[in-house]
Amino acid sequence: MEKKLIVEGMMCNHCKASVEKVLNAVPGVQAAVADLEAKSAVVTCDASVLDADLIAAVEKKGFKARMA
């Protein structure tokens, strides 16, 4: 399944890479692609992955996140 997050605070490609890295580290996530211009990230994951876990992973890195 796919889930989309709105991610605030990404300013550069390093930020984009950081968001992708932390999302990909969440158990059950197969792929995560952040979009710097759209300030979002699309996550392909198992149905068991909780929205709260994705948000927490991004916010732990210092970005603000919410589900789209």
Which structural domain range is residue 36 located in? 2-67
Angle at the Cα of 27 from the Cα atoms of 42 and 23, rounded to 5 degrees: 35
Question: How confident is the prediction along the chain (68 residues), in pLDDT tens digits per residue?
Answer: 999 999 999 999 999 999 999 999 999 999 999 999 999 999 999 999 999 999 999 999 999 999 99
At 47 the pLDDT is 95
pTM of full prediction above 0.85: yes
- The number of domains in the chain is 1
CATH code of residue 62: 3.30.70.100
Helix axes 51-60, 13-24, angle to 10 degrees: 140
Q: What is the 3-state secondary structure (H, E, C) of the chain?
A: CEEEEEEECCCCHHHHHHHHHHHHCCCCEEEEEEECCCCEEEEEECCCCCHHHHHHHHHHCCCEEEEC
The Cβ of residue 7 has, within 10 Å, a number of other Cβ atoms equal to 26
